[in-house]
Structure 1
Amino acid sequence: MKFVKIFSVGLLTAGALAFGQGIKFEEGNFAALKAKAKKENKLIFMDAYTTWCGPCKLMAKNTFTQDKVGQFYNANFINSKIDMEKGEGVDIAKQYEVRAYPSYLFINGDGELIHRALGYFEADDFIQAGKDAIDPSKQLSVLVKKFEAGEKNPAFLMDLAMRTVYTDPALFQQISQRYFNTKKDKNYSREEIALLLGSVKSSEDPLYKVFVDNREAITQVIADANYSAIDRELQMNAVLNKAYNRETKQFNDALFLAEMERFVPAAEAKQALLKAKMRVFGRDFAQYKPLALQYYDNAASFSAVELNEAAWRFFENADDKAALTKAVAWAQESVRKEESYANTDTLANLYNKLGDKKNARIWAEKSVALAKAAGDDYEDTQKLLDSLK
């Protein structure tokens, strides 16, 4: 599997799907689902998924299939399962601003979004998410109206922020600002720091001052070195906003380096430039590739996760032996640092693409074993392994 994706939604029209005795998903298009929901006075539960989403597959395998989940959802909802990257799923994703997967949408017969949730859930928690959707006091649409009426309770704001962080960025920012503008306690919890860092993208953002003014309290919870690294990242993002013209898509290298060298040594500024340009041109592999080869030259200085992500990106897009061989070195270093299903799978796929079937088989077997031990989905790796026999 490449790299672990925390969140992930095709229209299934071949007929009603029933996973064992679990949730029974309806056939038909969105209009038909809304008509049925209105007729039966129920909400639509929509599993908004993508085919590449690991957690989506685990939900389909582990949670949707359970009897108690099926009993609750089949009794209370019109259940649907729609791929957000195919057919009418594309428009549904735009309409309801689905940005992370798996997302779960609870929609009334008029098409109004009443509640939403996202991520992987165990059975009992998923049933609770459904109960929240039919409880007027817990429906997201009701909570948003309460916020708009001026609610300032810290626990309420924290809960609402966590519900909207991936689904409504603009509202999330408003909630965060109200939370920190009304915060009286000078201590900071990990949850509060996570909220703050989710709200501050650069040193130009309004809440950056909160981050700076409360350094002493924040570093009681996270290491001072980590605080400094985050601060540099925020400063780099501000410089990036100055150096990159989004209209012309031109990057001013000299301006970026000059601004960054006010905060960090020249060598770090050069690495920051590579990182920033990788972020800007990331969708264009032809531009990303030479930047990444320079940036990850000293592989030992990067984390296992970051190396694995870069190696998988090269597996998916690179064709030349030299680039793929460099990606193998990154994946090997990732495994050396922290062996996992994800990076051993990456290594297996890279060896296979290079034509080294022996090593591909060794690492595919290792990856499947690790996935089984961790309870991860290994369907794609098993297919690779079967093809190597």
Structure 2
Amino acid sequence: MNKLLSLFLIGFSTLLFSQDGINFQQITFKEILAKAKAEKKLIFIDAFAVWCGPCKLMEKNIFPLPSVKEYYNANFINARFDMEKGEGRELALKYGIRSYPTFLFLNGDGEVVTKNYGYMSEKDFLTIAKEANNPKFATFSNKELFEKGEKDPEFLLNMMRLYAESDYDLAKKVSERFFEVKKNDPLTKDELGMLLYFLKSPNDANYKIFVNKKAEIISLMSEDIYKQFDANIKISKILENSLDQKTGIINDEYFYKNATPLIGKADAETALNRMKVMFYPSVSNYEGYEKAALEYYKNSDNFDTEELIKAAWIFSEHISNPMALRKAEEWAEKSVMKSENAENTYILAKLYFKSGNKENAKMYAEIAKNLATTQGKDATMATKLLETLK
């Protein structure tokens, strides 16, 4: 078979496949927006990369299904973009796409209505489409709907997530309406996370929710953690003023002078250490981080193991003090005891290695390597550690 005929047959088979599945438009993004506006439809974009396994499985297993083809072709302007080529690079930057596949539903103005990720079953893939396919999303932008007084909780929750990074002030206003609408409903853990994310001052509307739902919130976190958040909210401005963003220096004296009268010495110390734990890694002040983390995580039973393993990772990378490494081992051990995975077992192995416990280091490096291989993750670091231990 000559090359020209081969290329023709490949192209023809692709055409047949596209006809048998979702009808992806072969036009520019600008033309897609115009088409969506003209037809008063939303846009569905499959954001993929050629090397992405789950992307290929979606293309093979889900896109051709009759129910999927029928619903997507009838209700959306569909398009696919390789996020590492041509227009796809611009779209990846514009919409903050960092994992594949990402499924975007946009209106004719290019605003994100919903964003979803990863391989999905037929049922889930249809569900996300039906959730997005509300006629008002095709007619009005998110901001217009919000300004018109939209109170649908799902819409508000989605809008909070979409604008949390790109327009914090707008997302904060959306959160206030969301929690007012939901004030008589129980909080989920995800909703609590949103509440705390947008809560910066006792003057915020959401602070009333935080206070009124104290008992409920304590059921989702410990009372000590609740008190810490409350203290941080009350002294947020003092925390901000005590930090020199240019030098990365925190003025302890200024902080204690202004915060202690409001929340007491003990809570002020906890709040300051929490700030240092959060801030110091970003400016590579690991000496300050070590001191603050050892004090802040002193009662490690009060903290989630996910937070502890992050601290253990920083210690494994940047701390050499034997006593500090032993404490980090305890944090990592708590995470491993709760649930072994490739990441926490590797961190524990590395901590054992740094503290000279080669036998335990080798054992957990082997576990980390096996778990990474089994779970389809990168086992390079665990493999390198094992080579060092030979």
What's the TM-score, normalizing by structure 2?
Answer: 0.66
- Partner residue, 2:200: 201
Q: CA 1:184–1:388 in structure 2 vs 1: closer, same or farther (change >3 Å)? A: closer
Q: CA 1:386–1:158 in structure 2 vs 1: closer, same or farther (change >3 Å)? A: closer
Where is the helix percentage greater, Structure 1 or Structure 2? 2
- Partner residue, 1:292: 290
Q: Report percent identity of matched pairs.
A: 23
- Partner residue, 2:329: 329
Runs of at least 5 residues in structure 2 that lack an aligned partner in the other structure: 1-10, 37-41
Q: Which amino acid aligns with 1:251?
A: I
Q: Is the 8 A contact 1:349 1:360 kept in 2?
A: yes
| Deviation per residue, 1:220-273 (Å, 9 max, x gap) | 776655533331232343431232244675532112122332355534433432
| Structure 2 counterparts to residues 1-389 of structure 1, below 5 A | 33-34=28-29, 37=32, 43=43, 45-47=45-47, 60=55, 64=58, 67-69=61-63, 71=65, 72=68, 77-82=78-83, 92=91, 95-96=94-95, 98=96, 104-106=103-105, 112-119=110-117, 122-123=120-121, 124-133=123-132, 136-137=135-136, 142-153=141-152, 156-158=155-157, 160-161=159-160, 164-165=163-164, 168-181=167-180, 185=184, 188-190=186-188, 193-215=192-214, 224-246=223-245, 250-285=249-284, 287-296=285-294, 301=300, 302-315=303-316, 317-318=317-318, 325-326=325-326, 329-335=329-335, 338-341=338-341, 342-350=343-351, 359-367=360-368, 377-381=375-379, 384-385=382-383, 388=386
1:67 positional shift: 0.3
Runs of at least 5 residues in structure 1 that lack an aligned partner in the other structure: 1-15, 52-56
1:329 positional shift: 2.2
Q: Which amino acid aligns with 1:362?
A: M
Q: Which amino acid aligns with 2:310?
A: E
Q: Which amino acid aligns with 1:196?
A: L
Q: Which amino acid aligns with 1:177?
A: E
1:127 positional shift: 3.9
Three-state SS of the structure 1 residue aligned to 2:104 is strand
What's the TM-score, normalizing by structure 1?
Answer: 0.66
Q: Distance in 2 between matches of 1:335 and 1:224?
A: 21
Q: Which has the higher contact order (CA 8 A, sep 6+)?
A: 1
**Which of these two proteins has the greater Rg computed from alpha carbons?**
2
Q: Distance in 2 between matches of 1:356 and 1:378?
A: 28
- Partner residue, 1:10: none
| Deviation per residue, 1:150-209 (Å, 9 max, x gap) | 223556545544565566533321222223456674x64437645533421343534223
Q: CA 1:268–1:212 in structure 2 vs 1: closer, same or farther (change >3 Å)? A: closer
What RMSD over aligned residues (CA atoms) do the two structures have, in Å?
4.9
Three-state SS of the structure 1 residue aligned to 2:311 is helix
Q: Distance in 1 between matches of 2:53 and 2:331?
A: 25
1:88 positional shift: 8.0
- Partner residue, 2:5: none
